[in-house]
Structure 1
Amino acid sequence: MQVAIIDEGRAIDLGGCRFHAIWLRDNAADAETRDPGNGQRLIALRDIPEGTVVSEARLDDAALHLRFEPEGKTVTYDTGWLMAHAYDRVDTRGPGWTGEGIETWDAGLMTRIPNAAFDDVARDRAALAGWLGGLARFGFGKLTGGPVEEGALLKVAALFGYVRETNYGRLFEVRTEVNPTNLAYTGLGLQAHTDNPYRDPVPTVQILYCLENSAEGGENMVVDGFACAERLREENPRGFDLLSRYCARFEYAGSGGVCLRSRRPMIELAPDGEMIGIRFNNRSAAAITDVPYADMEAYYAAYRRLGEIIDDPAMEVSFKLSPGECFVVNNTRVLHARKGYSGTGSRWLQGCYADMDGVRSTHAALVQELGLAAE
C-alpha cells in the first residue's frame, strides 16, 4: 500500500482510496481530540482551522502518520480502520436498498427462525448475543420456556433494553374484552400490521408473551415488510416511489384523553434511499390528504397492491404460541397478525414495547466483550 498527498494537501490517496484532509483531522483519535476512555470528541469542528491541509504523509507497517497544517499537528491512523471507513466509492444503490446486516425473508424463514430458550439467553451471554444477532438481522425472534407468570415479558425486555411506556401502560393485556378500546382486544382476525403508526416516534420493538392459549385458532403470523416493499418495487417501481414519496396519515383516539396523530410515508426511506421503516395499519389509517390529485389513483393502486403482497401466504411465517413462549419484532419493519379465534377456551397474551437501539447496542457490546465475529 502506498500513500500520496493530492489536491495541494486537501486530500490524500491511500492505496487508491481518497480521503479529505478535513475528514481525516476530524476523525483523529489522539488524546487531544478524543477522550481515551469513552471515545467522545473533545473538540468541535470550529476548533479545526479552515483550510486544513496535509503537509506530510508516511506509512509505517499498518500505521499512517499525517502532519496537518496550519496546526503543525501529527496524527497516527490505523490503516485498517481507514479502509473500513472509506467513502471514496461510486454509489450504485437505488431507492429501497437495505443496510448491512439486514436479510429480508418470506415464508422460507419458517425453518430457520431465530429461536432460543429463555433460560439459555438469560444465563449465557454468547447465546444472548446469537439470538440478538438474529433479531437484528431478520427483525424477528422467538423465545421458549419462559416463566408462565404475569409480567414475565418485562424480563425479556430487560435482556436488551428498557420498556417504552405508552398510553397503553408499561405492559398491556391482549385478550377478549367487552367494549374494547382497540380491536386487538377482540377475537377477530387482524391483518398484518405494524403497531402504533400514529405515534411519532413509533416504538421500534414489540414483545408479545403468551400466558394462556387454549382457544381454537388465534395463530400468530409475521411478515417482513421490507421484503414486501422490495417485491412491490420490482413489480411496480412507480407505485413504490409513490408510497415512499408521499406521507400517509394515521390516528388513534380510542380512549379518553388520547388523540395521537402522525404523518409519515408507508415506506420510509433515508435521504440516500436506504429503506428504514414500514408503517402499515388499516385500522389506524386516517384520510390521506398529502397526495396530489394527479397521483392519488395510482397511489391507492400501489397501497392496495402492497396490502395484497402482505396478505400473500408465501410471505408469512405462522405459529401458535404456548404458555411461556413469546415473539419479538422490529416494529419498524416486521408486521404481525393473528388469525381469528373462537369464544371457547382462553387466549391471554401480554405485550409491551421497547426499542431496537437497545437490541443493537447490547448485541454490539456482547460481540466486543466476547470477541465474537460480527454478524
Structure 2
Amino acid sequence: MLHKPLSAFSYAASASFSSSTAIDRPRTTMISANDFELADATVTVATANGRQVLPALWLRERTLDEAARDATTGQRFFNPHELPADLSLTDVAAKADGFTATFSDGFTSDFRFADLALGIDGDASPVERRSWLAEEGPGEIHDWQRLEASAAETRRCLGQFLERGFVILRNTPTERNSILSVARHFGFVRETNFGSYFEVYSRPVSNDLAYRPVPLAPHTDNPYRDPVPGIQLLHCLVNETTGGQSTLVDSLSVCERMRKEDPDGYRLLTEIPVGFRFRDPDTHLYDRHPMIETDHDGCPTGIHYSPRLDETPLLDAETMVAFHRARQRLGQLLGDARFELRFTLKPGELMMFDNNRVLHGRTGYDPSEGMRHLQGCYIDRDAPESLYRMLSATKTERTEAA
C-alpha cells in the first residue's frame, strides 16, 4: 500500500497516469457540421454507430424559432407530445451554418448544426472518466489561492476531478468553517441532519464511527439517503498524529475487475437492492440501492458501499450464498493494496471526491498523540460538471445563453 505524505508525490500538471484506462463503454463522438448531410428532404448525421436519419419529430422538438420557444428561458410554447405522429419533412434548404426545414404541417424553422450536435451528444460528459490504481498517486495537487483567482485554474482542477473522481487542494485556510467557502466555489452546499458541515475528530460518545479514532475501511457516505450526497469535501485543520492516513479507492477500477473476474457475481451486485439504515435519537433514515450502479450497457458508473450500515435482503438460500460470495469478493478487492491510495492530509489540505464513485476511509490513530481535526461537507453531484461546462463555453456561447 502507498503510505506517503502528499508532498512525496509529484505535483506536476503533466503527470503521466500510465495505468489509467478509459472506462470500457460506448461513447458518442462529438458531432461536427461535416457529419451532417442534406438530401431529398432528409437530414442524416454520422455518429459512432453509423449514419442516422434525423426524424422530423426529433427536429421539430428542437426548434429555436421565436414563435415556438421563449428566447429568455429556452422553454417551449408547445407540448411535443401533441405533434402529429406522422409528421414529416417536405423540404430542406442548406444555409451557411445549418439548414431551413419545412414540415408537413406547414411549420418552417432554421436549425444550426452546432445546436443539433449538442442534442445528439447531450448525454456525453465533457470530460472522459478514467479509472486509476493506487500506484499512480493523487495526481496534481492544486493551489486553492490560484483557483480563487483564476477561472482557468478552476477549470483545469475540475477537469482532473471529472476524470479521476477526486482532487486534492493545498493552501486552503485553516479557520473553522472555511470549508464552506471552498465548497461554494464549486457548487451549492447540501445540508443534512449533521448540519451544513460536520466535524471529524475523536469523541467517545458520538452517533457515527467516523467520530472515533478507529480505522475506517473504504466506504461511501450516507447510502441511506435519497438522494445520496453527491460530492464530499474533507478539510484538514489540525493533524498532530502519526496515524489517521486518508484512503481513496476508485470503484470503477474495482468494479471492472469484478465484472471480468466474476460476471455472475457482478450481475447480482448490480441487480439486488441492499438496504442501508441510519439511526440516532433524532433521525431514522433508510433507503435501498444495488451495491454497484451501472449504465444501460451494464458498465459500472458508481457504488453504494458501507459495511457498517448495509442490510442484505431476504433471499432464497442459493441466491443468498451466491450474493454473499459476490459481496465478499467485492470487499476483498476494495481492500486490495493495488486499488487503495493512502496519504496523509496536512493542515490546509482538502480532498474533494465523488461520493458515488470514489470510496474513502482512514487508518486508525491514537488521540493521545495529539489532535486530528477535519471538517466535512457535501455539494450536489452535478455542480462541478455544470461549472466546468460554463467555464469551457466560448464567449459567444455564454452571451447567447445569457
Give the 3 Å change call, closer, same or farther, for CA 100–18 of structure 1 in structure 2.
Answer: farther
Question: How many Å separate the matches in 2 of 1:285 and 1:158?
Answer: 31
For 2:378, what is the secondary structure of its paired residue?
Answer: strand
**1:143 aligned to 2:177?**
no
Give yes or no for contact 2:200–2:376 (8 Å, CA) kept in 1: yes
Equivalent residue for 1:186? Answer: 212
Amino acid of the residue matched to residue 44 of structure 2? D
Give the 3 Å change call, closer, same or farther, for CA 111–158 of structure 1 in structure 2.
Answer: closer
Question: How many Å separate the matches in 2 of 1:75 and 1:293?
Answer: 61
Report matched runs for 1:330-345 at 5 Å: 330-343=354-367, 344-345=369-370
For 2:382, what is the secondary structure of its paired residue?
Answer: helix
**1:314 aligned to 2:338?**
yes
Equivalent residue for 1:43? Answer: 78
Give the 3 Å change call, closer, same or farther, for CA 231–318 of structure 1 in structure 2.
Answer: same
Question: How many Å separate the matches in 2 of 1:98 and 1:56?
Answer: 34
**1:174 aligned to 2:205?**
no
State the Cα distance separating 1:272 from its structure 2 match.
4.8
Equivalent residue for 2:235? Answer: 209
Deviations 1:194-237 (A, max 9, x none): 00011111100111111110112111010111211111001111
**1:107 aligned to 2:134?**
yes
Give yes or no for contact 2:126–2:389 (8 Å, CA) kept in 1: no
Question: How many Å separate the matches in 1 of 2:166 and 2:203?
Answer: 28
Give the 3 Å change call, closer, same or farther, for CA 175–134 of structure 1 in structure 2.
Answer: same
**1:75 aligned to 2:104?**
no
Could you list the runs of 5+ residues in structure 2 that have no partner in the other structure? 1-35, 398-402
Amino acid of the residue matched to residue 75 of structure 1? S
Equivalent residue for 1:18? Answer: 53
For 2:374, what is the secondary structure of its paired residue?
Answer: strand
Give yes or no for contact 1:200–1:262 (8 Å, CA) kept in 2: yes
Give the 3 Å change call, closer, same or farther, for CA 80–186 of structure 1 in structure 2.
Answer: same
For 2:347, what is the secondary structure of its paired residue?
Answer: coil
State the Cα distance separating 1:290 from its structure 2 match.
5.1
45-54 vs 325-334, which deviates more?
A: 45-54
**Quick one: which of 341, 353, 358 aligns to 2:378?**
353
Give the 3 Å change call, closer, same or farther, for CA 167–296 of structure 1 in structure 2.
Answer: same
Question: How many Å separate the matches in 2 of 1:42 and 1:289?
Answer: 47
Amino acid of the residue matched to residue 165 of structure 1? E
| Number of aligned residue pairs | 355
Give yes or no for contact 1:139–1:329 (8 Å, CA) kept in 2: yes
Amino acid of the residue matched to residue 292 of structure 2? I
Give the 3 Å change call, closer, same or farther, for CA 125–110 of structure 1 in structure 2.
Answer: same
Question: How many Å separate the matches in 2 of 1:173 and 1:184?
Answer: 9
Question: How many Å separate the matches in 1 of 2:80 and 2:146?
Answer: 46
Question: How many Å separate the matches in 2 of 1:290 and 1:51?
Answer: 49
Equivalent residue for 2:17? Answer: none
Give the 3 Å change call, closer, same or farther, for CA 83–165 of structure 1 in structure 2.
Answer: closer
For 2:189, what is the secondary structure of its paired residue?
Answer: coil
Deviations 1:79-136 (A, max 9, x none): 344356448xxxxxxxxx99962111111431624x2111111111111111112112
State the Cα distance separating 1:32 from its structure 2 match.
2.2
**1:302 aligned to 2:305?**
no
Question: How many Å separate the matches in 1 of 2:250 and 2:287?
Answer: 22
Report matched runs for 1:185-334 at 5 Å: 185-253=211-279, 255-273=280-298, 275-286=300-311, 288-289=312-313, 291-334=315-358
Question: How many Å separate the matches in 1 of 2:180 and 2:395?
Answer: 25
For 2:269, what is the secondary structure of its paired residue?
Answer: helix
Amino acid of the residue matched to residue 247 of structure 1? P
For 1:349, what is the secondary structure of its paired residue?
Answer: strand
Amino acid of the residue matched to residue 182 of structure 1? D
**1:52 aligned to 2:87?**
yes
Question: How many Å separate the matches in 2 of 1:371 and 1:98?
Answer: 21
Equivalent residue for 2:10? Answer: none
State the Cα distance separating 1:260 from its structure 2 match.
0.9
Deviations 1:136-191 (A, max 9, x none): 22110111011111001101111011111111111111111012211101111110
Could you list the runs of 5+ residues in structure 1 that have no partner in the other structure? 88-96
Question: How many Å separate the matches in 2 of 1:362 and 1:176?
Answer: 35
Give yes or no for contact 2:172–2:349 (8 Å, CA) kept in 1: yes
Give the 3 Å change call, closer, same or farther, for CA 143–370 of structure 1 in structure 2.
Answer: farther
State the superposition RMSD in angstroms.
2.3
For 2:322, what is the secondary structure of its paired residue?
Answer: helix
State the Cα distance separating 1:358 from its structure 2 match.
1.3
Question: How many Å separate the matches in 2 of 1:340 and 1:211?
Answer: 18
State the Cα distance separating 1:2 from its structure 2 match.
3.7
Equivalent residue for 1:165? Answer: 191
For 2:214, what is the secondary structure of its paired residue?
Answer: coil
Question: How many Å separate the matches in 2 of 1:105 and 1:337?
Answer: 17
Give yes or no for contact 1:103–1:137 (8 Å, CA) kept in 2: yes
TM-score (norm 1): 0.88
